[in-house]
Chain A
């Protein structure tokens, strides 16, 4: 394993963390939008309370991945910026609206929950939470399908071919849908642990089970469309030596998550659900290795000079010393309901 591979792995690890932590915050927005029934207001309250202290820290994983990408793989970053300009700009607008609307929702004047202006912010937050993962997933789909090629000036290709066609495909949109459903699934599973009242917990248990079913459907759709949409990835996911063990592990995680939800063993379900989504992400990464942007840009070709990579690794080690205890503290303070002693046993 080369230095560049190691750094690429770390970048992907940051993305993975963003998906299972920040992704769930988006998923929370989806459930705020879909809040139904007599406990509608309490569901939204729970979601806001769960996201409040952690969403900014969770969001930074994306920034970390991005910064590492442009420092260590500048060629890949430049190409993504050109070819995926449109979906990434829309993702940005979504991120801006989601983050600020959430804050305005929480701090939206009067102090009392549920006044008119605040409800509007709640809706903006929820809709932005829906659109952002969809487009982020679509961008991932474009990468996986191998259509983020060197384009732009001099290639003779028209605007549509260079800037729209790579991500305007059924396959890319199916990946977007998959991302959205996966985030909603994670959020519902996590929220079963956040809820203190049994009936709220049941609400999110049912939602988590439903989302698990939807996730299975979305995965089937992605797999079906990958035949023409992303043949390289599909081949990797079927024929590579790591393929069978990976699928077995993913399947085991999925079954464990379902069983955990069914038996109301929520802590188990949470770990399994995060593992399931992470394994799917790593399956994508492995299937396109050694390419960072298939079909032609490899991790090694896109990498910055070794001196930069070594320094970044040093900075990462140093940063981890500060960051990991801080993160542990953050989650211990606010998610201590996860501790066995504090969980309401049924």
Chain B
């Protein structure tokens, strides 16, 4: 394994690990605040229990997210010192703002978690609201920095050095709007559906459990609207890519030749040597329509870039297909749920809907990882698109396979522990018999299975 590959792998592992916690850190506080609000309005203890469980989950996940985020900010220098030397002054601004947002989040999470009995109820709810807001803000700032790597602005190049730096213009990169919307929605959709999916699964085994019913509803309130909006934001992203990052779009769509009336390629395996995609379904004019809202529009293919500036086409194409497929599934399930709820149906007794939601549990997170692969792998071989190659940004330090393996092991270990803790702390049904009975249909009363 070359040092460059080891450095890229270490960064990939660190990001793939952190992104899960970051995404949950954005959406979970919102659910916890919604539950607490319901408790304050209805006075129903079940919501308090829910809020406290989600708060415990947030505490565990936020701590792991905070330390894995620290690892990333150090790794920028440990692995990519030349990137930071170039990019720091231009794009450090959103990182600084993220620092403050993260600070605010950490402070109010401390107040929220440990302050249940110490501060008045409205103040406690407000503290949770600030956690949710600042979590979203810190995600947005980090994505703004990433957007700049994809569509760099706010500086001029003079003999390899950046001059006339304008950090504000750098934050307003053309990719910033579409990327931040897409990532923020993804966070709510993925977390909402993951939580909803788990409770749907538990409801399938124990229909009358009032705890899981309420958890399901709140999780869907967070996840479903985001999942419905996500395809629209995806369209915005695709149109941005067509104009500003044509190579990434060409790789995602496995479009080898620049052409008018480009088809949309579904599935298939791109054969880079022969420059064709095998076993794919082609929708005529589909890509031109999606990218420019015009069936005759010219879409740039991979041939617009020299061969050595192509990303790994099969990986980007497959990741993109996976993300779109999973996102579509989530959106359809969300619409189905919305329709059933609008018709006044009892979601907990719609077996097929519960099954569909349970199936969706891992999908949002897989889509998040896949989408992140599209944006990062699709930019290669550049770390700053068109400006700095990844190979020129890496540290001269040899033997990088050692830290790569060390951090990979560490993260595997932590992942297992976190999963086990979450199971013990949050998912296990509360064993309070009355709660099982609250909304239990008459014929099922007294027959609730013992869970736990």
Contact = CB atoms under 8 A, between A and B. Distances in A.
Interface of A: 52-54, 56-57, 59-60, 62-64, 66-68, 70-72, 74-75, 77-82, 85, 88-89, 91-93, 95-100, 102-104, 106-110, 152-153, 159, 163, 304-305, 307-308, 311-312, 315-316, 318-319, 322-323, 326-327, 329-330, 333-334
B88 interface: yes
A214 B98 CA distance: 39
B110 A304 contact: no
B111 A85 contact: no
A103 B109 CA distance: 13
Contacts of B167: 307-308, 311
A80 B78 CA distance: 8
Given A59-B106, A82-B396, A109-B425, A66 B74 contact: yes
B56 A82 contact: no
A88 B67 contact: no
- Name the prevailing secondary structure of the A interface residues: helix
A238 B224 CA distance: 66
B78 A89 contact: yes
Contact of A311 (B59, B93, B108, B111): B93
A95 B67 contact: yes
B165 A93 contact: no
A322 to B, nearest CB: 6
Contact of A109 (B67, B108, B421): B421
B62 to A, nearest CB: 7
B280 interface: no
A52 B89 contact: no
B74 A100 contact: no
Contact of B165 (A82, A109, A305, A326): A305
Interface residues of B, number: 69
Contacts of B59: 103, 106-107
B181 interface: no
Contacts of A99: 63-64, 66-67
Nearest to B75: A92
A334 B127 CA distance: 14
A99 to B, nearest CB: 4
Contacts of A79: 81
B428 to A, nearest CB: 10
Contacts of B414: 96, 100
Nearest to B127: A329
Contacts of A98: 67
Interface stretch (B114-122, B294-302, B376-384, B437-445): B114-122
Nearest to A99: B67
B97 interface: yes
Contact of A103 (B63, B82, B88, B395): B63
A159 B398 CA distance: 8
A333 B111 contact: yes
Nearest to B74: A92
A81 B406 contact: no
Contacts of A97: 410
A334 B110 CA distance: 9
A312 B395 contact: no
Nearest to A303: B89
Nearest to A49: B114
B64 A312 contact: no
B70 interface: yes
A95 B71 CA distance: 8
B43 interface: no
Interface in B52-95: 56, 59-60, 62-64, 66-71, 73-79, 81-82, 84-90, 92-93, 95
Contacts of B272: none
Contacts of A315: 93, 96-97, 100
Contacts of A85: 78, 395, 397, 403
A53 B110 contact: yes
Nearest to A106: B59
B5 interface: no
Closest 3 A/B residue pairs (Cβ)? A71-B92, A81-B77, A74-B88
B88 A307 contact: no
A56 B73 contact: no
Nearest to B64: A100
Given A74-B92, A77-B85, A308-B90, 4 more contacts: A81-B78, A103-B63, A159-B398, A334-B111
Contact of A67 (B56, B86, B95, B108): B95
Contacts of A75: 85
A330 B99 CA distance: 18
B424 A78 contact: no
B266 interface: no
B232 interface: no
A70 B76 contact: yes
B148 interface: no
Given A66-B74, A104-B421, A312-B93, A77 B107 contact: no
B419 interface: no
A63 B72 CA distance: 10
A333 B89 CA distance: 37
Nearest to A65: B99
Given A92-B70, A100-B414, A330-B107, A60 B102 contact: yes
Contacts of B86: 74
Contact of B93 (A56, A71, A104): A71
A56 B109 contact: yes
Given A59-B70, A308-B93, A88 B114 contact: no
B47 to A, nearest CB: 20
A143 to B, nearest CB: 14
Nearest to B61: A103
Nearest to A325: B107
A63 B119 contact: no
A304 B88 contact: yes
A78 B85 CA distance: 6
